[in-house]
């Protein structure tokens, strides 16, 4: 049997809209992943540290407040700096298309905007984990 993929589902920043994060967490579980959900209001430092302690393969973040240009890259930098080079880091939420190139440049592997089916996230993770 393949070892389950471990995913940290995190809500950086202050927004309390976790409908999407929770739906994704459940969908990932149903796809056979081990999901660790951090809850609301996590700082980038907390997310990176949880990713380290849990030795996850994927970090999936959701932001609806518009704070993504600041917070997403910060999480990427912290995770890379602690030596987790191959963790796949993805993001989602209310994110204007024009922001996406900069986020990808910063190391976010993919950005999932409203209306994305959860199966697309599962497929992306399965296709892109090294």
Tell me which residues touch other proteins (CB under 8 A): 1, 3-4, 13-19, 22-23, 25-43, 45-46, 49-50, 52-55, 65-67, 69-71, 82-85, 94, 96-98, 113-115, 117-119
Cα distance between residue 36 and residue 6, in whole Å: 8
Nearer Cβ to other proteins, position 17 or 107?
A: 17
44 vs 90 by CB, closer to other proteins: 44
In the bound complex, what is the minimum distance in angstroms from residue 109's beta carbon to other proteins? 19
- Closest to other proteins by CB, 1 vs 127, is 1
CA 107/CA 77 separation, integer angstroms: 8
Q: How far is the CB of 127 from other proteins (least distance, A)?
A: 18
Residue 7 CB contacts under 8 Å (≥ 6 apart), including other chains: 28, 33, 34, 35, 36, 56, 57, 58, 59, 60, 125
Q: What is the nearest approach in angstroms of other proteins to the Cβ of residue 35?
A: 5
CA distance 64 to 114: 10
């Amino acid at each position: 049997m393949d070892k389950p993929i471990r995913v940290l589902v995190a809500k950086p920043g202050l927004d309390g809209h976790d409908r999407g994060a929770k739906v994704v967490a459940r969908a990932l579980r149903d796809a056979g992943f081990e999901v660790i959900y951090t809850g609301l209001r996590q700082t980038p430092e907390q997310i990176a540290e949880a990713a380290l302690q849990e030795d996850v393969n994927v970090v999936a973040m959701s932001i609806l407040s518009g704070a993504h240009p600041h917070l997403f890259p910060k999480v990427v930098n912290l995770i890379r700096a602690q030596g987790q080079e191959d963790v796949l880091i993805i993001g989602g939420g209310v994110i204007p298309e024009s922001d996406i190139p900069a986020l990808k440049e910063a190391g976010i592997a993919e950005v999932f905007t409203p209306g994305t089916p959860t199966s697309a996230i599962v497929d992306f993770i399965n296709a892109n984990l090294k």
